[in-house]
Structure 1
């Protein structure tokens, strides 16, 4: 079998089989991840193909570009106080778990910080892709969306600092390069909008994706992986919505969802191929189950208690919000890979993190109404965070026209029609 045919068969399998298994409430990303692990057992290092690595990079970049486009500054400002309280609690949790890992697991402070981020940070892009399938109401969707987005912004900032803080000179250089990226991306978009888009109608989506990939590659070369740059490009594109409405339009968002549908499964499969067989022994299983038993109830309980105390929500609604925020799949896989490659994390702990993230990713699909799927093209609101929760708004009266033959009448009444 030629390599080209093998890649085509792999793409076909990853686009069809995981979705077929969703009837059993198995999340499609988990199926893709397990398929990658199985491929390593069957074919060994032959699974580490450069073409697969490229498709994987495009997949993770498109997922975080999509997450950046979902950021709504107006929604974040509108409810900044409860979001700030949520972030303070999350930051305290990260610090406490990082300290425990540094104190008792014999890890350096950078590795301990990354481990805390890996097990506590919800994967926003993945969560946003699943909201319409979880049976949440508008208020619950609003809070899940914005808590996940706010948490990811903080986590990406922490990731950048932790990875670069080992050398002050590297941190200064990388910070300068990141600042240049933040300044340069809007200028690039504006230049493209002035000199390219008018002469190439319909090219906005292609330009958005290409700039996202360039931003992802820049931050990858800085040593902070693809996701930071792709997320920044998505946020910038959303902030330019008023000046360049076609850039972050609903059509482009939908197109990006379809684009991610094709490439994201390659990332999960590729991540599975980087889990060595030695990482899935009995010790890894015990540690993974222990992490799940210790951290998952704690994470759910903290969010549940916040919702109950701060908003007086019902126990059921608070629990649904907490459950929807449990998946850490993407963040755990990315940071586990970094810990394994750059900080010497053992194979056993790598396998334990994989087991932990598989279990917490499956939890919402098992307990909430509909199965989770990485496919981001389900019907529903394109920007659920745009609609803030509101308390039974009064109906807006229909416009009234002045009738020359009598008193004002409603525009919809027969008397108002010619």
Structure 2
């Protein structure tokens, strides 16, 4: 069979089969991950194809570029006090879990810190993409989005420090490079907007993706993976929205979401092929179930109790927000792979982390769901929750015509 036909079949399989299985409440990324594991078991090392690796890189980079664009600093400031409390509780939780991993799993402090981040960091990109199907109201969506983004910002900063802290010289050099990148990205965007965009109308999306990939490559070379640079590029583009409105416009964000939707399945498939055979054991499965039964209820319970005390919410509303923040898919996959390849994480714990993130990612789709409407006359397209929230905001700001008009 020719390589072209294999790639065509793979593209069809990753884009069609996972979507078809969503009717059974199985998230598409989980299906792609399982397909990757199956390919690894069937074909071994032959499945590690450079084309798949490239498509995977485009997927994870575009996903975090979009996550950076989703950061609305004005919205975060609106709930700053409560978000600060949330982050303080999260910090205490991260430190506590890291200590337990260091004390009882006999891991180094860096590996223990990464295990803690892998267990507790919500997967913002996945959460935002599934909000529409969880039946949350506008206020609930706001807090799920804000808490996921705030947690991701803190986790990315912690990831950078932890991965570089083993070598103080490397940490210093990497910090200087990161500072230079943060300062240089706005200048690069502005230069492209002044010298390229006027002569190439409609090129903002291409330039945004290009800069995001360059930033992702820089942080990968620094040893902190692609997602950090891509997220920073998206955040910088969002902060330039007033000066360069078309760069992070709603149209560009929608286009980037579609771009990521195409490539992200390759990331999850590739992540599945990287799971080692020694991670697929009954011992790993048992440990993963134990971790899930201990950690997941505590994560959901802490957020539920926090919202009950601070917001005085009903039990059901607090539970919806808590469960919606449960998935850790992307962060756990990334950090579990880093732990296995760079910190010699035992295969049993590697497999346990994979099973843990699979189970907590399934939780919202099993517990929360939108009402099923069987009215065949309702043909309105289902919009992404962020698009609908922007549309509602624009409608609220629109002038009301007078009766004399």
Q: TM-score range by the shorter chain?
A: over 0.9
The answer (yes or no) to whether the contact 2:83–2:147 under 8 Å persists in 1 is yes
Q: 1:382 aligns to what SS in structure 2?
A: helix
2:377 aligns to what?
none
CA 1:242/1:41 → structure 2, altered by over 3 Å: closer, same or farther? same
The answer (yes or no) to whether the contact 2:56–2:270 under 8 Å persists in 1 is yes
CA 1:102/1:272 → structure 2, altered by over 3 Å: closer, same or farther? same
> Distance between the aligned counterparts of 1:387 and 1:147, measured in 2?
22
CA 1:239/1:99 → structure 2, altered by over 3 Å: closer, same or farther? same
Q: 1:224 aligns to what SS in structure 2?
A: coil
> Distance between the aligned counterparts of 1:378 and 1:148, measured in 2?
23
1:380 and 2:389 correspond:
no
2:376 aligns to what?
none
1:96 aligns to what?
96
Residues 357-383 of structure 1, C-alpha deviations (whole Å, 9 max, x = no match):
000000000010149xxxxx9513435
Q: Aligned-pair distance for 1:86?
A: 0.2
TM alignment of 1:178-327, pairs within 5 A: 178-327=178-327
Count of aligned residue pairs for this structure pair: 394
> Distance between the aligned counterparts of 1:156 and 1:182, measured in 2?
14
TM alignment of 1:394-413, pairs within 5 A: 398=400, 411-412=402-403
The answer (yes or no) to whether the contact 1:145–1:384 under 8 Å persists in 2 is no
1:127 and 2:127 correspond:
yes
> Distance between the aligned counterparts of 2:109 and 2:390, measured in 1?
38
TM alignment of 1:158-197, pairs within 5 A: 158-197=158-197
Q: Aligned-pair distance for 1:85?
A: 0.2
> Distance between the aligned counterparts of 2:99 and 2:245, measured in 1?
45
> Distance between the aligned counterparts of 1:137 and 1:325, measured in 2?
15
Structure 1 segments unaligned to the other structure (5+ residues): 372-376, 400-410
User: Computing the radius of gyration over CA atoms, which structure comes out larger, 1 or 2?
Assistant: 1
The answer (yes or no) to whether the contact 1:253–1:382 under 8 Å persists in 2 is no
1:344 and 2:344 correspond:
yes
The answer (yes or no) to whether the contact 2:36–2:271 under 8 Å persists in 1 is yes
> Distance between the aligned counterparts of 2:98 and 2:391, measured in 1?
35
2:375 aligns to what?
none
Q: Aligned-pair distance for 1:4?
A: 2.4
1:407 aligns to what?
none
> Distance between the aligned counterparts of 2:100 and 2:336, measured in 1?
18
1:113 aligns to what?
113
The answer (yes or no) to whether the contact 1:141–1:384 under 8 Å persists in 2 is no
> Distance between the aligned counterparts of 2:384 and 2:266, measured in 1?
25
Residues 11-32 of structure 1, C-alpha deviations (whole Å, 9 max, x = no match):
1100000001011100000000
TM alignment of 1:353-364, pairs within 5 A: 353-364=353-364
Q: 1:220 aligns to what SS in structure 2?
A: helix
The answer (yes or no) to whether the contact 1:142–1:387 under 8 Å persists in 2 is no
> Distance between the aligned counterparts of 2:259 and 2:400, measured in 1?
41
2:59 aligns to what?
59
> Distance between the aligned counterparts of 2:31 and 2:77, measured in 1?
38
The answer (yes or no) to whether the contact 2:131–2:385 under 8 Å persists in 1 is no
The answer (yes or no) to whether the contact 2:156–2:228 under 8 Å persists in 1 is yes
CA 1:110/1:387 → structure 2, altered by over 3 Å: closer, same or farther? farther
CA 1:397/1:75 → structure 2, altered by over 3 Å: closer, same or farther? closer
Q: 2:127 aligns to what SS in structure 1?
A: helix
> Distance between the aligned counterparts of 1:117 and 1:159, measured in 2?
8
Q: 2:386 aligns to what SS in structure 1?
A: coil
> Distance between the aligned counterparts of 1:58 and 1:279, measured in 2?
26
> Distance between the aligned counterparts of 1:71 and 1:395, measured in 2?
21
> Distance between the aligned counterparts of 1:317 and 1:382, measured in 2?
20
CA 1:387/1:24 → structure 2, altered by over 3 Å: closer, same or farther? same
> Distance between the aligned counterparts of 1:32 and 1:170, measured in 2?
36
> Distance between the aligned counterparts of 1:266 and 1:277, measured in 2?
20
The answer (yes or no) to whether the contact 2:122–2:152 under 8 Å persists in 1 is yes
> Distance between the aligned counterparts of 2:358 and 2:217, measured in 1?
27
> Distance between the aligned counterparts of 2:397 and 2:160, measured in 1?
47
Q: Aligned-pair distance for 1:266?
A: 0.1
